Amino acid sequence: MTYLDHAATSWPKPPAVLAAVCAAIERGGNPGRSGHRLSMQASETVYGCRENLAALFGVRDPLQICFTQNATESLNLAIQGSLAPGDHAVISAMEHNSVWRPMRAMETRGVAFSIAEATAEGIVTAKSVARQLRSNTKLIALIHASNVNGALNPVREVGRLARARKIRFLVDASQTAGAVPIDVEAMQIDMLAFPGHKGLLGPQGTGGLYVDGAIRLAPLKQGGTGSDSENPLQPELAPDRYESGTLNTPGIAGLNEGVKYLLDRGVDDVQRHESALGGRLLAGLASIPRVRAYGPASPSHRTGTISWNIEGRDPVLVADELDREFDIACRAGLHCAYLAHQSQGTGRTGTVRFSLGAYSTEADVDAALAAVQSIAQGGTQ
Amino acid sequence: MSLPVTCLVVYASLSQVHRVKRHLYQSGVFVDMVRAPQCLVRGCSFALRCDETLLPAIRATSQELAIEIRGAFAEIATIGYSPLP
């Protein structure tokens, strides 16, 4: 199979990821609960993953990273934990439903929000964000790279703007964690939400949120943390405050191996790899009659996620044909990001999306281009 | 000659214990992690267990990392635990 759906979940995973998941299940132990060796070993694994994630994102204190089930939970924690009635927030026109929907829900609780527009290529400039700021703006939430068309946003500039105005800055790194270098200090990011199962190459059911040490969020859930048990209230300490209940230890063990792979290889190398393949894919799509690709033309302004359509063809049916006739896996439709599609003029039709990963090859790209060419020419039904 | 004394340094959470332990490890100092006995702290807590000669290093590392020590205790066979200053 030619797998071009890494924006949904990366596949295959490094063999060490699978081995670590199995080993954690075989070994057992609930981290941070009991004092026996199995429990302590499990907690060593969890802390090791925190430490490696901190190294990957330039976080000084690994305890500022809490584990979640996925980026959606991280974004909900950051948004719901930050905003109170009377507050205002700014999001962008390129956001995923995992930001848009929580913000719409917060509206019913007396929180207002504005949407910063994107350019025709899908990029949200700092100027566009600045135009939406109000005196009561407490949060700016920005997707680092679009899951629809791969457009990379100027996070560093928006971080500078947010810090100058003393506004909390949340970055959704669902499409960039492990694929684009991220340094929370240099980018002045206050909260970074990331999934474990995409660019970080871990299993599904893993994710996390970096929360700057000066920030104290209202937790999404309350319960057992293995600490401060006599206290009827949730502990103040991070990450315990945000991690009630037993963690996904096998998943985190696998995620740890994915992160170690990236630390060894270097995220900048992954970015170069995906950028080169993305350039090849974009150039190839541009050369096929009746095919239109969306998003930035320059590889330096985008990730390896590319949306496209064939004139007059339903993207879902095209993706189905790619799967059935050409053994190519990709995703079509609105990609849970209606706001972004609306902004880019594809809200009614949707698009077909190819997304590259750390293990993608030139052969994958060439197979995809040959298949698109064939479908666009009406070669298969 | 007095026998070496074993100490328990108690923290609020296991994550904190890990952080201090890892920093010590990177400096070549090796210590154990244990559940803190219920008689020392109410509720669930964890501790570093070490020879008393390592106590200054543990205190210094905790301070450097801004991690609060909830208590330091000497293990004494006859009476259990004795608080350390």
Based on DSSP, count helices (H) and strands (E) in chain B, helices before strands. 2, 5
Enumerate the residues of chain A whose CB falls inside 8 A of the CB of residue B16. 63, 237
pLDDT at B3: 65
**Which amino acid is residue A34, in one-letter code?**
S
**pLDDT at res. B74:** 94
A50·B15 Cβ contact <8 A? yes
Is residue A347 exposed (0-12), middle (13-18) or buried (19+ Cβ within 10 Å)?
middle
Instruction: Specify whether the CB–CB gap between A372 and A288 falls below 8 A.
Output: yes
Q: What is the DSSP letter of B2?
A: P
pLDDT digits (tens, 9 = 90+) for A268-288: 999 999 999 999 999 999 999
A6 vs A3: CA distance, rounded Å: 8
Which residues in B lie closer than 8 A to residue A228 (C-beta atoms)?
Answer: 12-13, 43-45
- Note which residues in 52-91 of chain A have CB less than 8 A from chain B: 61-63
pLDDT tens for residues A328-353?
999 999 999 999 999 999 999 999 99
Report the percent of chain A where pLDDT is more than 90.
96
Q: Determine, for residues A237 and B45 on separate chains, whether the beta-carbon distance falls below 8 Å.
A: no
Q: What is the mean pLDDT of chain B?
A: 91
**Per-residue pLDDT at A380 exceeds 80:** no
pLDDT number for residue A228: 84
For residue A37, count other CB atoms closer than 10 A to its CB: 10
Q: Which of A242, A190, A201, A222 is nearest to A63 (CA)?
A: A242
Whether A332 contacts A351, CB under 8 Å: yes
pLDDT at B79: 80
**pTM, rounded to two decimals:** 0.96
Q: How far does the CA of residue B44 sit from the closest CA of chain A (Å)?
A: 5
Taking an 8 Å cut-off on Cβ atoms, the answer to whether B42 and A230 are in contact is: yes
pLDDT above 50 (res A36): yes
pLDDT mean across residues, chain A: 96
Residues of chain B with pLDDT under 70: 1-3
Which long-range CB contacts under 8 A does A24-32 form with residues at least 24 apart? A24/A249, A24/A250, A24/A252, A24/A253, A24/A254, A25/A250, A29/A249, A30/A246, A30/A249, A31/A226, A31/A247, A31/A249, A31/B14, A32/A225, A32/A226, A32/A227, A32/A247, A32/B13, A32/B14, A32/B15, A32/B46
Q: Residue A229: list chain B partners with CB under 8 A.
A: 42-44
- DSSP H or E run through B24: helix B14-26
pLDDT band, residue A381 (cuts 50/70/90): very low
* pLDDT (average), residues A174-193: 98
CB contact A228 to B (< 8 Å): yes
Its ipTM equals 0.90
Interface residue A135 vs chain B (CB under 8 A) = no
**Nearest-10 Cα torsion for A11, A17, A19, A22:** -90
Determine the pLDDT at residue B1.
56
B43 interaction partners in chain A (CB closer than 8 Å)? 227-231
Interface contact B15-A61, CB threshold 8 A: no
Task: Identify the three-state secondary structure at position B58.
Answer: helix
Q: Which two tokens stand for residue B63?
A: 């301070």
Considering only alpha carbons, which residue of chain B is nearest residue A45?
Answer: B18
> What pLDDT shows up at residue B2?
66
A40 in B contact zone (CB under 8 Å): yes
Contact list in B for residue A45 (CB cut-off 8 A) is none
Residue A194 has pLDDT above 50, yes or no: yes
Q: Which chain A residues have a beta carbon less than 8 Å from that of B33?
A: 40, 43
SS (HEC) of chain A? CEECECCCCCCCCCHHHHHHHHHHHHHCCCCCCCCCHHHHHHHHHHHHHHHHHHHHHCCCCHHHEEEECCHHHHHHHHHHHHCCCCCEEEEECCCCHHHHHHHHHHHCCCCEEEEECCCCCCCCCHHHHHHCCCCCEEEEEEECECCCCCEECCHHHHHHHHHHCCCEEEEECCCCCCCCCCCCCCCCCCEEEEECCCCCCCCCCCEEEEECCCCCCCCCCCCCCCCCCCCCCCCCCCCHHHCCCCCCHHHHHHHHHHHHHHHHHCHHHHHHHHHHHHHHHHHHHHCCCCEEECCCCCHHHECCEEEEEECCCCHHHHHHHHHHHHCEECEEECCCCHHHHHHCCCCCCCEEEEECCCCCCHHHHHHHHHHHHHHHCCCCC
Q: How far apart are CA B5 and CA A306, in angstroms?
A: 64
Q: Do A50 and B65 touch (CB under 8 A)?
A: no
Q: What is the pLDDT of residues A138-174, one digit of tens each?
A: 999 999 999 999 999 999 999 999 999 999 999 999 9
